[in-house]
Amino acid sequence: MTQTVTPTHPDPDALLDQLTLEEQVALLSGADAWRTAAVPRLNIPPLKVSDGPAGVRGGGPLIGGRRTAAYPVGIALGATWNPDLLREVGLSLAREARDKGATVLLAPTINVFRSSLNGRNFENYAEDPVLTGRLAAAYVQGLQAGGVGATPKHFAGNESEFQRGTIDSVIDERTLRELYLRPFEIVVKEAQPWAIMTAYNRLNGPYCSQHPWLLQKVLRREWGFSGLVMSDWGGTHSADEGVLAGLDLEMPGPAVARQPLLAQAQADPEVRAGVRERARAVLHLLARTGTLDEPLDVTDDHERDTEYPETRALIRRAGAEGLVLLKNSGGALPLPAGARVAVIGPNAEAAQVMGGGSAQMNAHRRVSPAEGLREGGRVNVVGSAEGTGNERYLPVPQVETRIEYRDQAGGPVIGQDTRPQAEVMFFGLPDGVNPDADGVNPDAFHATLTVTVNAPHDGEYEVSLGSAGLSRLSVDGQPTVNNWEDWQVGELYFSFGSGERRAPVHLSAGRHTLSVEYTPHVMDIGITPFNAVRVGFRARPDGDRLARAVALAAQADWVVLCVGTTGEWETEGVDRAGLTLPGDQDALVEAVLDVNPNVVVVLQTGGPVEMPWLSRAPAVMQAWFAGQEVGHAVADVLTGLAEPGGRLPQTFPHSLADDPTHPLTPDVQYPGEDGRVEYREGLYTGYRHVDRSGVTPMFPFGFGLSFTTFTLGAAQLHAPAFPQDAATVTVPVTNAGARPGSTVAQLYVQPPQGRADRPLKELRAFAKVHLNPGETGDAVLTVTPRDLAYFDVAAQAWVAGPGEYVLHVGQSSADLSTQVTLTLPHEWREALPDTD
C-alpha cells in the first residue's frame, strides 16, 4: 500500500528530497492542457495556468468559454507609454486569474516588432526593446504582487507566424542581444518573473525549447533568472535534450516528447541530475504561487466569472489612454456638444475587442463605438450604417450547437455535448468516455454537429466550413460543402486547419438545419494536432450597403467612420498579407468624404495600415483593439470626456515598401525560405531604419497629438559621478493649452562616431507627464552607462567608447526639441560573466 506523507512544512527543497525519480519525471510534463501534475503521495497539488495576456480565459475552450474581463491588447497598452498603468493592469489581472483558479498567467507577450505584417503584433507592446521591457516589467510586477506568476513569452526570435513551429530565425548575436533579447533581459532583471515561455521556432539552429545557450548561459547564468522555463503548447521536441538544455516543463500534458524521459533518466546519471533540477523549478513555482500552502480549486467547474465595476473602469481608462490621435486639422476634435453624428463602417456596431488566436476569450461585454456614443449622450447619434464589410470569414451563428460522438461512422452514439455557438475548438471525446476502457481511438472518433439557423426571408444565403480535421457540411440534408476528400492546410486554427470553403444556397424563410460530419486529421507538422470546426452562415449582402451609408453621411453634421481589421485578420498562426484595409473600406472612406467633409476616421487595427485618404480626412484616431469597453473609450475621447493619451509604439510607414524587412520579392529575409528566416536588416528596423535610410514615415515612432499643447524647456544634465553613478536629465514640461492632458518626454541617445556601426539614435528613457492647463512639471530621465553601450561580439562585452553622447529629448522620434551632451571620459565596459 502506498503511504501518503503529510509534510510538516511545504518547503520545495525538502519535498524534492522525498520525490521518487518517477514522481520527479511526472512533474516535468503537464497533467492536461492547463494543469501541472500532482503528487498525491506527498500532497503536492496541481497548479493551473491560463492564457492571457489581455485577460484570463481560464481552463475552458478558446471560443465560448466562461466569461471574463477583456483588457486592451498589448499594442494598445504599449501606446500608453505608462508603466504605472501597466502595473495597475497586472494587479487587476491577478484577481481575474485567481477567480479562474489560475496562479500562472501566460503573459506578457514581449517580442518586439520586426515586420509590420506579423499576425501577432497586436499582442506585443512596441518596436523598441526598452519601451517593451519597461512596460512589461511593470505588468509583471503588478501581476506577481497579486500572487500570480507571469510568463513572459516567446523566448526568443519569434517575430512572425510563418512556419513558426519549425523555422530557424537566423539572427547575429549583436542584433539578438541589443534588440530581441533586450526586453526579456529588462524584465528578468527588474521584475524577476516566476516563469518564462520558450518560442516554437529554432534560433540559429536549435529549437528554443532545447537551446542551452539561450536557456542556461544567457537566461540563467548571465541574467540570474531563478524561475521556471516552460515550452509553448506542443513546442517540446525531445526528452533528455530539453531537460539538459534547461526546459523545466513540457506543456500541455500528458507527456508527448517526454514519454521516454524516465527510461533515459534511469540509464544516464547526467539526465537524472537534470531531471532533479527541473523538478526543483516546478516545486519552487508551486511555492511562489502559494500552491503548496493554500492550493486553489483548479477544476474548470469552479471558475468564477464575476465582473467588477472597478475593472470595467480600469479597462475603459486604459483604452482611452492608449488611443492615439494621428490627425486633428482645425481642432475637429473633440466633437461639438449636441452634434448630429452618423456612425458608419463595418466596426461601427461591431466591437473589435481583441485579436485572434490563443489571446481570445469570451468577454463580459463588447461595447461598440456606436453604442458608446449613444450611451455617452454628449452627441446626437442620428443613425449607423455598415457601408461595407471587413470580415475574413462568414459569421458564426451564435446558437446552440449539438454534438454527438461515435467511435466510428454510423456507429452508436457514445456521448453528447452542446456548445453556445457553431464554432468549436479543442473539442474531443466527451466526459465519461475513457478511450482505453471503451476502446475508442481519440484520433479517429466521428462527431456530428447540428446547428439550427433562421433565414429571415426567401433569398440567397452563404454557408461556409473550415476545420482542423476532415469535415462535410449539409444543409437540410443536402451535401453542400466537402472539406473531407480534398482537405488542405490553410490559415485557420494557427495554420493547423484548412481554409474556409464557402457555398451559395437558396433558402426559404424559416428554420434550417446545418449538419457537419467530422473526424480528426492527424498531421505530422511538429506541433500537437487538435480538433476544431467552424460553420459560417449569412444572407448574401445586398448592393445597397454603400449607398445607404453615403446617404446617412450626407444628413449628419459629423461622421465617425469606424474602419479597420478584426481578430480574423490579425491572429496567431498566420501573418497579414499586406497593409491595405480589408475589402472596400478605403472606397467607403472616400465615398463618405465626397458627401461630408466632417469625418473622423477611427481605425481599429493591430498595427499600421495604408491611408490613401489621409489628406482629405480632418481627423484620424488609432483605437487598436482596446478591450471590452472600447466603444466607451472611443466615445470618451471623441467627445472630450477623456484625452487621447496614446503615442505610437510603432513607426507607421506609408506602405510596405518602406518596411526594411520586406524585399520586393519575398525571400529568406521575409517571410523565409527553406526553413530559414534571416534577419539581414540587423539593428535597422522601425525608427532606426528611418534614421539611416532617410525615408519619411507616415507617422513617426512616439508620435501622438493631444487636445492641448505642450512645450519642453531646456534640458538640464546632472552627472557628477558618471559613469560610476547614473546621470539624470531633467526637462521642464509646460501645458500651454486650455485643457488638461499628458505628453511623453522621450530621451534618445546619439553616440559619437566610433569603431562600431550604430543607429543614429536609440530610445533609452521616457516619462509620461500629466498636467493641467498652464501647469509646468519636470520629466526626470535616467541614463546609465549601459544606455550608451553597444554589444561587442568579439569581446563578449557591452562597450561604450569615450566621447560626447548627445541626449536628445522630445515628444517623438522626429520631434526632439532639446538636448544635452554627456561626456564619457574613458571607455566603459561590462563584460559578460564567465559562465562557460
pLDDT in tens, 387-427: 999 999 999 999 999 999 988 888 888 888 888 899 998 77
Q: Is the dihedral of CA 704, 709, 713, 718 positive or negative?
A: negative
Among 514, 521, 512, smallest CA distance to 449 is for 514
Phi, psi of 50 (to 5 degrees): -145, 150
Report d(CA 733, CA 731) in Å as an integer: 6
Q: What's the rounded mean pLDDT across residues 375-393?
A: 96
CATH for the stretch 315-387+545-693: 3.40.50.1700
Report d(CA 29, CA 239) in Å as an integer: 10
Among 37, 128, 88, 71, smallest CA distance to 701 is for 128
Q: Are 535 and 463 in contact (CB under 8 A)?
A: yes
Among 637, 640, 600, 596, smallest CA distance to 617 is for 600
Strand 340-344 with 380-385, pairing: parallel
pLDDT computed for residue 441 by the predictor: 76
Report d(CA 36, CA 283) in Å as an integer: 11
Report d(CA 613, CA 623) in Å as an integer: 18
Domain limits, CATH 3.20.20.300, in the chain: 12-61+69-302
Report d(CA 151, CA 410) in Å as an integer: 45
pLDDT computed for residue 554 by the predictor: 98
- Tell me the CATH number of domain 401-539, given options 1.10.1740.10, 3.30.420.40, 3.40.47.10, 2.60.120.260: 2.60.120.260
437: pLDDT strictly greater than 80: no
Q: What's the rounded mean pLDDT across residues 689-705?
A: 98
pLDDT band at 524 (very low <50, low <70, confident <90, very high): low
Report d(CA 83, CA 766) in Å as an integer: 10
pLDDT computed for residue 415 by the predictor: 87
Q: Are 254 and 236 in contact (CB under 8 A)?
A: no
Fold of the 710-831 domain: Immunoglobulin-like (2.60.40)
Domain limits, CATH 2.60.120.260, in the chain: 401-539
C-alpha distances in Å from residue 149, one per residue of 54, 98, 810 = 15, 11, 36
The secondary structure of 409-469, three-state, reads CCCCEEEEEEECCCEEECCCCCCCCCHHHHCCCCCCCEEEEEEEEEECCCEEEEEEEEECE
pLDDT band at 2 (very low <50, low <70, confident <90, very high): very low
Q: What's the rounded mean pLDDT across residues 80-85?
A: 99
Note the pTM of the prediction, 2 decimals. 0.95
Domain limits, CATH 3.40.50.1700, in the chain: 315-387+545-693
CATH for the stretch 12-61+69-302: 3.20.20.300
Report d(CA 704, CA 56) in Å as an integer: 30
Q: What's the rounded mean pLDDT across residues 780-791?
A: 98
pLDDT computed for residue 9 by the predictor: 52
Cell output for 243: 531537460
Q: Are 833 and 224 in contact (CB under 8 A)?
A: no
Residue pLDDT, tens place only, 223-253 = 999 999 999 999 999 999 999 999 999 999 9
pLDDT computed for residue 677 by the predictor: 96
- Helix residue ranges per DSSP H, 146-224: 173-175, 182-191, 212
pLDDT band at 6 (very low <50, low <70, confident <90, very high): very low
Report d(CA 176, CA 182) in Å as an integer: 8
Phi, psi of 196 (to 5 degrees): -140, 145
Question: Hey, which residues are catalytic here?
Answer: 232
- Give 461's strand partners: 505, 539
pLDDT computed for residue 637 by the predictor: 99
Among 572, 616, 574, 565, smallest CA distance to 592 is for 616
